[in-house]
Structure 1
Amino acid sequence: MPIRVLVADDDPMVVTGLKYLLESDQEIEVVGTAGDGEEAIAQVRSQSVDVVLMDLGMPGVDGIAATRRIDQRPDAPYVIALTTWDVDDAVMSALEAGASGFLLKTSAPDEIIGAIKSVMAGDAVLSPRSTRRLLDQIARDPAVEQRRAAEVAVARLTAREREVAAAVAQGMTNAAIGAQLYLAEATIKSHVATIQSKLGVANRVGIAVLAERAGLLRPA
């Protein structure tokens, strides 16, 4: 069964371009398009959608608010934020609202298609470069309470789970983590699911944020 994608952007040229690009891949089906957040929410309600490519700067209900409302659904699709700029406040807000990652609108076609397939496989949607920028921004946040809460949450993880969490925060895929730790990819996938449950986060971005705040990426 193909991956069902909804494209939400208020620029008709962007929508047309993305639709043409995605439909060139036999594993992807564009099931709808939306010009604003309210329309995107309505489409998710009315049909089965696996992944939403969500522009953040749409009029009316913007992409951040739409992501938050979509993420509250029990059968919520993955949301990948589309942005003109690399990590900024809008991207951070979208990730906090439940987006599984983000893509620059200038991303190469194979990056966009690869991101959709990766998120469906439970893998990273952020490139290592973008992940590092995201975590650098979090590291500059002086909120002491958030750091303490992250440390308490991460303390629930086993030593192996902390290793996996740190690797996820570096933007590594399950396959790459497995190769590094000499474990099967299926084992890593199981670890990631357990880590998400223990930390109370919805996706790999949540793991990355807590790992940074708790200091897992700092030299011992």
Structure 2
Amino acid sequence: MNEKQDDIRVVVVDDHLVVREGLRMLLEIAGKGKGFTMLGDAADGATAVHVIEELQPDVVLMDLRMPGMDGLEAITRIRERWSHIAVVILTTYNEDDLMLRGLRAGACGYLLKDTDRETLFHAIRAAARGDMLLQPEVMARILARTTDTPHPASSDAEADKDSILTERELEVLQAVARGERSKEIASRLGISLRTVSSHITSIYTKFGVDSRVSAVAAGIERGLLSRDRE
């Protein structure tokens, strides 16, 4: 396969052939000359891990509901072994719980399966840069659902952990959920970049996560992010 040195190399994982072939067509035909190379695909998580080990893509588009090893386990294994590879969840409108678990597992964001090609291309480029991918319309729906759905009672230890974000840390987390970069957060809150980084690091430690997306997912799960708070 003739691929440019700077092409973004993609692997697609989905148990539906029509989805894999549709994305292949978008990347190889509509995306021709736009800097993408589809290296391969897989129909389940176990096959995906082997394909990714062999091909070492830059970005993986990952379905969550698959037979055998599902997308959640596959994301966990990929992030444990190849943390430099960006994983984008392929999701539908009725998979909010699974999607949050995927974000906690280390995915950098999500992409709706019926998205248009320009959104697809933008998402792949953003993932390859290491950006967070949280589409506003999907986030709004999840936050609305978080507001309307009671959260199960936590253990005392979990409740203590949930309450330890400071007011400023919560402001920073809310800004991260809106997709603001550290520079924008610093400017709006009137604090230094170093202070923003310190708050983000503290949030990671308290939530036991290692990325902005995982922190947002954890905040949603704990009921710390909602329409009312936003």
* TM-score (ref. length: structure 2): 0.74
1:118 aligns with 2:118: no
1:150 aligns with 2:162: yes
Report matched runs for 1:16-55 at 5 Å: 16-23=21-28, 24=31, 26-55=34-63
Distance 1:100 1:36 in 2: 20
Tell me the equivalent position of 1:100. Answer: 108
1:215 aligns with 2:212: no
Indicate the SS of the match to 1:72: helix
Distance 2:74 2:197 in 1: 30
Tell me the equivalent position of 2:3. Answer: none
Tell me the equivalent position of 1:9. Answer: 14
The Cα shift of 1:62 comes to: 1.9
Distance 1:179 1:111 in 2: 28
Tell me the equivalent position of 1:59. Answer: 67
The Cα shift of 1:105 comes to: 0.8
Which structure: larger Rg? 2
Unaligned segments of structure 1, at least 5 residues: none
The Cα shift of 1:219 comes to: 4.6
Indicate the SS of the match to 2:81: coil
Query: What is the number of residues matched between the two proteins?
Result: 214
The Cα shift of 1:28 comes to: 2.3
Tell me the equivalent position of 1:164. Answer: 172
Contact 1:87 1:133 (C-alpha < 8 Å) held by counterparts: no
Question: Residues 219 and 71 from structure 1, CA distance in 2 versus in 1: closer, same or farther, beyond 3 angstroms?
Answer: closer
Distance 2:229 2:37 in 1: 44
Question: Residues 75 and 209 from structure 1, CA distance in 2 versus in 1: closer, same or farther, beyond 3 angstroms?
Answer: closer
Per-residue CA deviations over 1:153-178 (Å, capped at 9, x if unaligned) read x33xx93x5433211213x2427657
The Cα shift of 1:180 comes to: 4.8
Contact 2:111 2:120 (C-alpha < 8 Å) held by counterparts: yes
Contact 1:169 1:208 (C-alpha < 8 Å) held by counterparts: yes
Which runs of structure 1 show a deviation greater than 4 angstroms over 4 or more consecutive aligned residues? 175-184, 186-193, 216-220
RMSD: 3.3
Task: Work out the percentage of aligned pairs sharing the same amino acid.
Answer: 33
Report matched runs for 1:173-184 at 5 Å: 173-174=180-181, 177=185, 180=188
Higher mean C-alpha displacement, 4-13 vs 207-216: 207-216
The Cα shift of 1:115 comes to: 1.5
The Cα shift of 1:6 comes to: 0.8
Indicate the SS of the match to 2:19: helix
Question: Residues 216 and 39 from structure 1, CA distance in 2 versus in 1: closer, same or farther, beyond 3 angstroms?
Answer: closer
The Cα shift of 1:47 comes to: 2.6
The counterpart of 1:70, out of the listed 78, 83, 89, is 78
Distance 1:76 1:45 in 2: 12
The Cα shift of 1:66 comes to: 1.5
Contact 1:56 1:82 (C-alpha < 8 Å) held by counterparts: yes
Tell me the equivalent position of 1:204. Answer: 212
Contact 1:7 1:52 (C-alpha < 8 Å) held by counterparts: yes
Contact 1:169 1:211 (C-alpha < 8 Å) held by counterparts: no
